[in-house]
């Protein structure tokens, strides 16, 4: 009887040890740790239907709509439905963490209706659906094309301070299928694009606004430099559509102007004295048999005596610069412009669009190519470009490195042209460093090299 009790007790101990995870002896007499088996606890929200989804807003382009919604409780995923022929059909599924979804393959200029529904899972993996959101309308944007790019910019100068508060700018752009247009202007001071006006008439393709006056729904349109000449204008037009429910706006692509537009009337007014001198004197220098080269003078001054000596060489316009000039003229010059206007425009353009070449990286194959293609240069490139341009236009200009007795350490390049008994100078540089045309000769021609 006692032995039987002891056997039962040992069996009970063995069961207790096994349940406690104690090591057990295998057939080879080695103790092994038993494998633990535990059941995974079911999620607390398993089988619970998610809450109703609320769609907040959307964004769209010409071929897609991106819906944004608030997170639904107990959601393990979301499904977007699109209304097609009176029935809601699956458009796309999105994950638990997705609070937005992009629906692609849509038509431009088309309004769509969507619903969003969240789902959870049952223990068997089947879905438990929440209630669908309210029907949400969205519209795709107009077709993005170059049809609506800016066609022309016309400036009408006023008569008061800085051309007058009555000065106006008129834009014209191409018509496209849309519900309206947003006009943007580049703010050169803050270096950012700003909304200028919203036009809700799709048939309207022009706009006139004041340069300085802040009109209803507009901002100041003209950015002036301290020296009084225009930084130019950069505009773009962006067509838009709006859905019938007022949920949002869909836009076409905005083709932002890469370079400013410079108005000739403004430039003539800003550089009035110099431009008038240029217009009067330049025609007198036109040569019937102008050579295809210009002279380059490298001038220096003796540090002790101040005596000026220089070397004189022929410089030919490179093929790269000639090609760059033809391209630049085609893109920027207007029919009927005089040579004086072309020079005025080009000097101003170089001033506004070039960066100083600190690393000597300009290597486009010629001065004019450097400043118009790479938009890099130093005084030699800026003014060498004008020397090349004078040669192309048929003038006998010359390009010089001037070293004056009064400032013996100064080295600078400038372009000049002799008209009658006087020498006139062009000065082009970046930022505020420039003039257009002056009666100026730092080193008289009589002291320059004759050969």
Partners of residue 59 on adjacent β-strands: 66
Question: What is the secondary structure of 4-40 as a DSSP string?
Answer: HHHHHHHHHHHHHHHHTT--EE-TTS-EEPPPP--PP
For position 384, what pLDDT does the model report?
A: 95
Share of the chain above pLDDT 90, in %: 61
One CATH from 3.30.70, 1.10.357, 2.60.40, 3.10.450 for 146-261: 2.60.40
Q: Does the structure show a pLDDT above 50 at 101?
A: yes
Stretch among 104-118, 155-169, 293-307 having the lowest mean pLDDT:
155-169
Taking residues 106-120, report their average pLDDT.
98
Name the token pair of 424.
Answer: 């006139």
Per-domain boundaries in the chain: 55-139, 146-261, 271-447
* Residue partners of 221: CB distance under 8 A and separation at least 6: 169, 185, 196, 209, 210, 211, 212, 233
* Model confidence at 111: pLDDT above 60: yes
Chain mean pLDDT for the chain: 84
pTM assigned to the model: 0.76
Q: How far apart are CA 92 and CA 431, in angstroms?
A: 53
Are the folds of 55-139 and 146-261 the same? yes
CB-based contacts of 51, cutoff 8 Å, min separation 6: 72, 73, 74, 75, 118, 130, 131
What is the model's pLDDT at position 446? 52
Average pLDDT over residues 345-371: 95
With a cut of 60, say whether residue 63 has pLDDT above it. yes
**Residue 10 binned pLDDT confidence (cut-offs 50, 70, 90):** very low
Asked if the model's pLDDT at residue 92 lies above 50, the reply is yes
- The whole-number pLDDT of residue 289 equals 84
Looking at domain 55-139, its CATH class is: mainly beta
pLDDT of 216 over the 70 cut: no
Please write the tens of the pLDDT for every residue from 386-435.
Answer: 999 999 999 998 888 875 545 545 578 889 999 998 999 999 888 778 89
Residue 54 structure tokens: 């609320």
């Amino acid at each position: 009887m006692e032995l039987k009790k002891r056997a039962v007790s040992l069996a009970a101990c063995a069961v207790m040890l096994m349940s406690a995870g104690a090591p057990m002896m295998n057939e080879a007499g080695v103790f092994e740790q038993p494998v633990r088996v535990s059941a995974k606890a079911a999620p607390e929200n398993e089988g619970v239907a998610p809450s109703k989804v609320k769609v907040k807003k959307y964004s769209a382009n010409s071929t897609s709509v991106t819906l944004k919604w608030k997170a639904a409780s107990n959601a393990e995923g979301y499904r977007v439905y699109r209304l097609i022929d009176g029935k809601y059909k699956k458009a796309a599924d999105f994950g638990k963490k997705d609070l937005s979804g992009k629906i692609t393959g849509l038509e431009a200029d088309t309004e769509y209706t969507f619903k969003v529904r969240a789902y959870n899972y049952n223990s068997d993996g089947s879905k438990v659906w929440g209630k669908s959101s309210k029907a949400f309308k969205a519209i795709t944007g107009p077709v993005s094309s170059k049809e609506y790019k800016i066609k022309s910019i016309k400036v009408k100068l006023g008569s008061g301070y800085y051309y007058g508060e009555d000065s106006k700018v008129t834009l014209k752009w191409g018509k496209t299928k849309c519900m309206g247009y947003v006009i943007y202007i580049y703010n050169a001071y803050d270096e950012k694009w700003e909304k200028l006006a919203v036009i809700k008439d799709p048939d309207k393709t022009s706009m006139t606004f004041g340069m300085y006056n802040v009109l209803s729904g507009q901002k100041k349109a003209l950015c002036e430099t301290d020296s009084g000449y225009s930084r130019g204008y950069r505009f773009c037009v962006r067509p838009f559509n709006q859905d019938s429910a007022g949920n949002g706006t869909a836009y076409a692509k905005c083709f932002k102007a890469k370079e400013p537009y410079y108005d000739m009337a403004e430039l003539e007014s800003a550089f009035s004295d110099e431009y008038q001198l240029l217009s009067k004197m330049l025609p007198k220098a036109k040569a019937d048999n102008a050579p295809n080269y210009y002279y380059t003078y490298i001038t220096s001054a003796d540090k002790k005596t101040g005596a000026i000596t220089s070397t004189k060489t022929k410089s030919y316009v490179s093929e790269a610069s000639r090609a760059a000039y033809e391209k630049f003229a085609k893109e920027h010059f207007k029919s009927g412009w005089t040579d004086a206007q072309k020079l005025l425009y080009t000097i101003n353009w170089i001033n506004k669009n070039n960066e100083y070449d600190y690393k000597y990286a300009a290597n486009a194959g010629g001065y004019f190519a450097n400043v118009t293609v790479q938009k890099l240069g130093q005084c030699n490139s800026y003014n060498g470009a004008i020397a090349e341009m004078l040669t192309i236009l048929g003038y006998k200009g010359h390009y010089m490195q001037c070293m004056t007795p009064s400032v013996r350490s100064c080295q600078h390049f400038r372009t000049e042209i002799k008209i009658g008994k006087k020498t006139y100078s062009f000065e082009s540089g970046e930022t505020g460093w420039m003039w257009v045309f002056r009666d100026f000769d730092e080193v008289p021609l009589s002291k320059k090299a004759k050969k």
